[in-house]
Amino acid sequence: MKKKELEIILQAVPPLKKPVPSLEQYMTPATIAADIIFTAHQFGDIGDKIVIDLGCGTGIFSIGACLTGAKKVLGIDIDKNSIQTAQEYAKKQNLPIDYRVQDVKDVTCCGDTVIMNPPFGAQKSNLQADRAFLEKGCEIAQVVYSIHLKKTIPFIEKLVTSLDGDITYRKGYRFPIRWMFDFHKKEVINYDVTLVRIISDINREYR
Asked if residue 205 belongs to a domain, the reply is no
Least confident of 43-52, 91-100, 115-124, 160-169: 115-124
* Residue 99 and residue 33 in contact, taking contact as beta carbons nearer than 8 Å: no
Asked if residue 135 belongs to a domain, the reply is yes
* Residue 99 and residue 86 in contact, taking contact as beta carbons nearer than 8 Å: yes
Q: How confident is the model at residue 189 (pLDDT cuts 50, 70, 90)?
A: confident
Q: Is the pLDDT assigned to residue 80 strictly greater than 90?
A: yes
Helix (H, G, I), strand (E, B) or coil at 99: strand
Q: How confident is the model at residue 40 (pLDDT cuts 50, 70, 90)?
A: very high
How far are the Cα atoms of 31, 83, 191, 192, 193 from residue 176, in angstroms, in the given order? 11, 23, 6, 9, 10
Cα torsion through 115, 36, 154, 158, rounded to 10: 30
Q: Is the pLDDT assigned to residue 16 strictly greater than 90?
A: no
* Closest by Cα among 50, 27, 43, 54 to 135: 54
Asked if residue 130 belongs to a domain, the reply is yes
Range of the domain at 26: 3-9+20-200
The pLDDT of residue 207: 44
* Closest by Cα among 159, 119, 123 to 138: 159
Mean pLDDT, rounded, of the chain: 88
Query: Could you tell me the pTM of the whole model?
Result: 0.90
Asked if residue 186 belongs to a domain, the reply is yes
Asked if residue 14 belongs to a domain, the reply is no
Asked if residue 129 belongs to a domain, the reply is yes
| Average of per-residue pLDDT across 174-181 | 72
Q: Is the pLDDT assigned to residue 30 strictly greater than 80?
A: yes
The number of domains in the chain is 1
Q: Is the pLDDT assigned to residue 62 strictly greater than 50?
A: yes
DSSP output for 180-197: -STT--SSEEEEEEEEEE
Query: How far apart, in whole angstroms, are the C-alpha atoms of residue 22 and residue 126?
Result: 6
Condensed to tens digits (0 to 9), the pLDDT of residues 45-55 reads 999 999 999 99
Asked if residue 152 belongs to a domain, the reply is yes
CA angle 76, 81, 86 (to 5 degrees): 55
Least confident of 4-13, 54-63, 187-196: 187-196
Q: The domain spanning residue 179 has which CATH number? A: 3.40.50.150
* Residue 7 and residue 34 in contact, taking contact as beta carbons nearer than 8 Å: yes
Higher pLDDT among residues 6 and 200, named by residue: 6
Q: How confident is the model at residue 104 (pLDDT cuts 50, 70, 90)?
A: very high
Query: How far apart, in whole angstroms, are the C-alpha atoms of residue 194 and residue 31?
Result: 15
Asked if residue 15 belongs to a domain, the reply is no
